[in-house]
Chain A
Amino acid sequence: MAATLCGRLLPKSGWVPLTQNVRHGSKAVTRHRKPLHILKQKLLAVTEYIPPKPRAPPEALVPRRKWTQMEHPLANLLRKDLENVFEENKLIVVVHYNAIHTDDLTRLKLRLKKHDIRIRFFPNQVTRAFLNNSIYCNLLPLVCGKTVLFISKQAKVKEMLQTMKHYPEMVLLGGCVENTLMSYQGIVSYSKLQSIGVIQGQLVSDLTMITSQTHSLLRHHPVHLSALLQQHVKQKEPVDVDDTVGQEAAA
């Protein structure tokens, strides 16, 4: 078979087939990505496409407009309302309120209304925005969580405390009474104060008592001296009598 094939493949006689020592070289088509020849790598690196850099957009050169948050109109309205509340009312108290039945809250509102005390709810954001820019900024720490304001045009603190005793869900934190910031203890001691008329009467009576004592004060020293001298005389009298009796007996 080999002889017949050789005869067909090699038509020229006397022609020795080429002896080619074929080395097992690498294939051109491989299943994996073949690493590039170093020269080809260099060529590709040098001739790599560099896209042109886009110019900076015009907005990048000018500073961006900052979006300032506009105050919500309702918040603005509530803040102005709160300003009026602080101006018109003598009693403004911050109260922390826990879960309370609606019926209980209604009853509390009615009982307070008898003493002209109203309950007002303001969002904390609005209250903080107002207090930050006002003279009442020390009330800021109180406004946190669930808070409510008790306001009144008259400073009926005693009645307010008596009503709140029956509602332990409402916790009094502090407030502003007659333009004076007070803590809970301050409000309690304020409630124990008597009315102005009574205090004025007490002051007048104390002053008159002092002035009435002037006469007795002036007379005090001479009276005391005379009393002492009288006592001295009384003590000396029996000694004198005894002396005279003793002298007569000796004689």
Chain B
Amino acid sequence: MAARKAGLALKVVNKIIIRFCPFEPNSRSVREFLTLVTSRKVRDSNKKCEIVTEVKHDSSEPAVDITFLDGEQLIMKTKNLTSKEMILALQNVCIAKEPQGKPGDM
């Protein structure tokens, strides 16, 4: 709970690729997620984390592809997700992967 309140930390994240088509109305949540993830605090938590944005125009669904340091991948198809849900999902995975995280925290 304390880790959640502290905010999103990208210590265990290697790369984040955000793909969206800006002319589609369903890309709103992905853009909000992009704004949150590229904020100063979150970026300072891991300066080596690469955040790549791919802008497309092929009516494809927006997606977020996260690669962690241990090689695991998290793909979120964000057509029907809100930015808060995405952040929570990422936060949960990061907390679970953090070596300092206690197993009984959840």
A contacts, CB < 8 Å to B: 94, 96, 98-99, 138, 141-142, 144-146, 168-169, 171-174, 183-186
Q: Is the CB of A141 within 8 A of B57?
A: no
Interface SS of chain A? mixed
Assembled-state Cα–Cα distance A142/B43 (Å): 25
Give the nearest-CB partner of B18 in chain A.
A171
Q: Is the CB of A142 within 8 A of B23?
A: yes
Query: Which residues of B have CB within 8 Å of A184?
Result: 22, 55-57
Q: Is the CB of A141 within 8 A of B24?
A: yes
Assembled-state Cα–Cα distance A47/B9 (Å): 75
Q: Is the CB of A145 within 8 A of B35?
A: yes
**8 A Cβ contacts from B19-55 to A:** 22-25, 27-28, 31-32, 34-35, 38-40, 43, 53, 55
Give the nearest-CB partner of B28 in chain A.
A144
Query: Contacts A99-B43, A145-B28, A184-B55 hold; do A169 and B38 have CB atoms under 8 A apart?
Result: yes
Q: Is the CB of A174 within 8 A of B38?
A: no
- Rounded to whole Å, the gap between the CB of A185 and the closest CB of chain B is 6
- Rounded to whole Å, the gap between the CB of A62 and the closest CB of chain B is 41
Chain B contact patch, size range: 10 to 19
B contacts, CB < 8 Å to A: 22-25, 27-28, 31-32, 34-35, 38-40, 43, 53, 55-57
Query: Contacts A99-B43, A184-B55 hold; do A141 and B23 have CB atoms under 8 A apart?
Result: yes
Residue in contact with A98 in the complex, picked from B22, B27, B35, B56, CB distance below 8 Å: B35
Query: Which residues of A have CB within 8 Å of B32?
Result: 145
Q: Is the CB of A144 within 8 A of B31?
A: yes
What 8 A-B pairs come out closest when comparing CB atoms? A183-B57, A98-B38, A173-B22, A184-B55, A145-B31, A171-B53, A142-B22, A99-B40
Query: Which residues of A have CB within 8 Å of B39?
Result: 98-99
Q: Is the CB of A96 within 8 A of B25?
A: no
Q: Is the CB of A141 within 8 A of B35?
A: no
Assembled-state Cα–Cα distance A142/B24 (Å): 8
Give the nearest-CB partner of B26 in chain A.
A141
Q: Is the CB of B23 within 8 A of A171?
A: no
Assembled-state Cα–Cα distance A138/B57 (Å): 13
Residue in contact with B35 in the complex, picked from A94, A146, A168, A174, CB distance below 8 Å: A146
Query: Contacts A171-B55, A185-B57 hold; do A98 and B34 have CB atoms under 8 A apart?
Result: yes
